Amino acid sequence: MNKARIIALYLPQFHPIPENDKWWGPGFTEWTNVAKAKPLFRGHVQPRIPADLGFYDLRLAETREQQAMLAREAGIEGFCYYHYWFGGGRQLLERPFNEVVASGKPDFPFCICWANHTWSNKTWNRKSAMQQDSVLMEQTYPGTEDDIAHFNSLLPAFRDPRYMTVDGKLIFVIYDPLKFINIERFIETWRKLAEKNGLPGFHFVGMTPSTLTLRVAADGSRQRVMPNLKSSAKIFKDVLDLGFDSVNSFGKRRGEMLYEGKWKNLAKTILRHVGLPTGSIRYDYERTVCNYFAPEDSWENVYPTILPQWDRTPRVSSWDGVYVNATPEKFEKHIRQALELIKDKSPEHRILFLKSWNEWGEGNYVEPDLQWGHGFLDAIHRAVVE
């Protein structure tokens, strides 16, 4: 048995769709920005070039089979596919996952993360820090009827024997629980629909940074607060109190604040939000991720996130920070730190979310590339399987 259940977040963006053709030009996919990225400073490796799988198209079943084979060999338990439902039946990027379900291939476990966020023009491109965002596809929550339609659209997947579970219940992850309007209604509706359709029920996982400047007040409103770097208990409790069974915590903001200092990090964040450039922000990978995990990540119902690399240069140029000196060996050390944190949990709950399998535009991927080959996959195997 593996020491942990590694669930890899999976981006289905690598195929053309009419909407992206309209917004960005014919044939646009994530590869468009990945291939044209340029280094920002000496030693900055850009563009990142894929190795074994090449600049693939996820409409090809062969590609999806190869991905599953590589993941299985590394010790990854399954893929968590990002899923885009904007309300009113509007979906995007659904084809690869729908084909996985309909074809029964690859024979590899999966679950779903509803990426419930609005798409703006900064999703895959930002020409300058002064550029104004414009909405491309707005995330909406129309009501109970839409919740039912959403459930029914995914019912074939929920009935699939490959669908991953925790304590016998279907894993369903929600990307932004704190901005989800009427989330309690949604959870209650889906629990009833699961019972009505003979499903074992849901294990709802709420994603959240472990350090936030936002909290849920007693009346349910959201308030701005100073980030707490000593404890994430209030943040995690806010998510659990919404009706979630567990939390997927992400320590990026925490690690960066502890690396460069809270006040300096907040000042830079404010400058970016008002549209002022802050230059090329760099973080040393090892010195940043060593502070990713909050004390409460050891809670039985909290599933930490592990991060192999981070570099959003292909999407947003210099404004979001670049992790430097990331290597497979340092990633392995990061995984082992996470394993130590979760070792006393029950086997079903020893879950680590890998961010991500193939987020090439954000530089957080473990698929083979020309620089490291299978290095990051091998790091997972050494830490989790061997």
Full residue range of the structural domain in which residue 127 is found:
5-385
Quick one: tokens of 123?
């999703």
Please spell the DSSP secondary structure of 132-149, one letter per residue. PP-EEE------HHHHHH
Strands 90-92 and 202-209: unpaired
What pLDDT is stored for residue 127 in this prediction? 47
* Angstrom distances, CA of residue 253 to CA of 260, 290, 320, 349: 11, 12, 12, 24
Q: Tell whether the model's pLDDT for residue 33 goes beyond 80.
A: yes
Number of domains in the chain: 1
Longest alpha-carbon distance in the chain: 59
- The enclosing domain of 104 has a CATH number of 3.20.20.80
Ranking 197-206, 250-259, 275-284 by mean pLDDT, the lowest is: 275-284
pTM above 0.85, yes or no: yes
Within 8 A by CB and 6+ apart from 288, the residues are 255, 256, 259, 323
Query: Residue 6 forms beta bridges with which residues?
Result: 352
What pLDDT is stored for residue 320 in this prediction? 67
Instruction: Tell me the C-alpha distance between 250 and 255, whole Å.
Output: 10
Instruction: Tell me the C-alpha distance between 312 and 128, whole Å.
Output: 14
pLDDT in tens, 152-211: 999 999 999 999 999 999 999 999 999 898 999 999 999 999 999 999 999 999 999 999
